[in-house]
Amino acid sequence: MSQLKQVLAEKIPTMRSDIKSFVKEHGAKVIGELTIGHAFGGMRGLKAMLCDTSEVPPDKGLIIRGIPIKDLTSKLPEEIFWLLCTGDLPTADQLKDFQDDLRARAKKIPSYVFSVLDAMPADSHPMCMLDTGILALERESQFRKRYSEGMTKDEYWEPTLEDSLNILAWMPEVAAYVYRKAFNKGARIPADPSLDWGGNYANMLGLADPTGEFKNLMRLYLTLHSDHEGGNVSAHTCHCVGSALSDPFYAVSAGLNGLAGPLHGLANQECLAWILETMNKFNGAPTEEQLAKYAQETLDAGKVVPGYGHAVLRITDPRFDAFHAFGAKVCPDDPTYQTVARVYTVVPKVLEQVKKIKDPWPNVDAASGCLLYHFGMKEFSYYTVLFSVSRTMGMCSQLIVSRGWGEAIERPKSMPTSWFKAQAAK
Ligand code: NMX
Ligand code: MLT
């Protein structure tokens, strides 16, 4: 048995009985108010979901199992996944065991997934290719097999873990293949077993990396995007689909389809496009005045300034800070990075003037693109795939925990507009 499975096997029964008795004792307690605004406003702020892997206080940003993300930036993504699943960082021995497990699984990636991708039109969006690849791999699901054999509810978490680890092990290969195929980068680069999960993914993308800093950027990128509590569109979608006991391949693929939306994960491709548009328009890095004017023009055209604002946060996203600091260290003279830094000094002031915007500060997507661009990854439409590889850690860990304590199928009650109007009239 892998050490990760061993740790979970020790923790899950206690977590399950703890939650069961808590709900039995306090299930009827009222914890909040439901307004008409909640029902019509995307349920914003409604505390009606459970997620133990991470939390996002509006004034602090991402905290994974009690540790603020700013204190986790030097950790490997594998350590983050362990932390998300178990609540603790792994020991050196546990980390090695986990990395060896992922490497062994990666060797068994079914080759038909590459044939499926080859059959797709070359101009399919990279996100559609990735989602299709993960969905095609559903054939390998252990959860579906064990369910049809009649496993008990208490066992659900075990094949959920098994499927999740296969998805995590195969994801970088599928994602790197999407990059090389979609942008004619040449043949698939085989995995290098001497590298860690993030370093290997960076290597398989095939960008020149003489200093090793691109690999470091990928490790940071995968760590920063890993999880963002349970209510974001990708995690919530994955959770909802998983709650029907659809296996992790179905659930993760569904979550990634949500990440492909421009208000969620696709914003990172739009951010860099917006930055480059400004540089094009003003023939180089724009001045503060020029940026303020361009931001206003964007708003006047009825568009959003991508990379700014957040459904939960009310501060600069600490994940943005981490990318900003990486850029300041690695490419301080890069004009695109400098433009992103200048936008940060200008755009919040412009957005603050718009009353309806609740958060004028940058989110994670505002700074990641310029760093990728600096290292030669100029294909914006691929950027959300990088986010996806990372967010798979959050979605899978949330699925494992949910199956661990035996969460119910998600099924809120909907009502027609007439019912809400009748409530308002009372
Ligand atoms: N530029 C222009 N308008 C904005 C912006 C922005 N950056 N942020 C919010 N607004 C508008 C928003 O469209 C809404 O307008 P309307 O009522 O006409 O529909 C209004 O301000 C109120 O929105 P909020 O309550 O502040 O934000 P909400 O929770 O609805 O949406 C986002 C959050 C993130 C969807 C929104 O801020 C946005 O569209 N930002 C730009 C896109 C982006 O960066 N998305 C990435 C999110 C992070 N991620 O990685 O997933
Ligand atoms: C995320 O990382 O999922 C985004 O910041 C969006 C969110 O939390 O809603």
Token output for 185? 């980068």
Taking alpha carbons only, the member of 381, 372, 4, 73 closest to residue 225 is 73
Mean pLDDT, rounded, for 38-56: 97
Average pLDDT over residues 118-124: 95
Question: So what's the pLDDT on residue 407?
Answer: 96
Cα separation of the two ends of the chain? 60
Q: Whose CA is nearest to atom 7 of ligand 2?
A: 232
Confidence band, pLDDT 50/70/90 cuts, at residue 345: very high
- Closest C-alpha among 241, 297, 243 to residue 274: 297
Q: How far apart are CA 395 and CA 270, in angstroms?
A: 24
Please report which confidence band the pLDDT of residue 310 belongs to, taking 50, 70 and 90 as the band edges.
Answer: very high
What's the CA gap between 130 and 144, in Å, rounded?
21
Instruction: Kindly report the number of other CB atoms within 10 A of residue 311's CB atom.
Output: 17
User: Which of 239, 310, 324, 374 is labelled catalytic?
Assistant: 310
pLDDT digits (tens, 9 = 90+) for 174-228: 999 999 999 999 999 999 999 999 999 999 999 999 999 999 999 999 999 999 9
**What mean pLDDT is reported for the chain?**
97
> What's 73's DSSP letter?
T
The pLDDT confidence band at residue 337, using thresholds 50, 70 and 90, is very high
Active site residue 365: yes
- Give the pairing of strands 54-55 and 67-68: unpaired
Percent of the chain surpassing pLDDT 70: 100
Type of residue numbered 101: D
Atom of ligand 1 nearest to the CA of 359: 26
pLDDT of residue 252: 98
Tell me what pLDDT residue 321 has. Answer: 98
Give the residue whose CA is nearest to atom 29 of ligand 1: 311
The structure tokens 């967010």 sit at: 391
Task: Quickly state the pLDDT bin for 28 (edges 50, 70, 90).
Answer: very high
Q: For residues 241 and 409, is the Cβ–Cβ distance under 8 A? A: no
Tell me, rounded to whole angstroms, the distance of Cα 362 from its chain centroid: 17
Based on DSSP, count helices (H) and strands (E) in the chain, helices before strands. Answer: 19, 3
* 11 confidence band (pLDDT: 50, 70, 90): very high
Nearest to 358 by CA among 59, 36, 49, 54: 59
How many Cα neighbours within 13 Å face the side chain of 372?
Answer: 28
User: What's the pLDDT score for residue 142?
Assistant: 98
**43 touches ligand 1 (CB under 6 Å):** no
- pTM for the full model? 0.96
Amino acid 18: pLDDT: 98
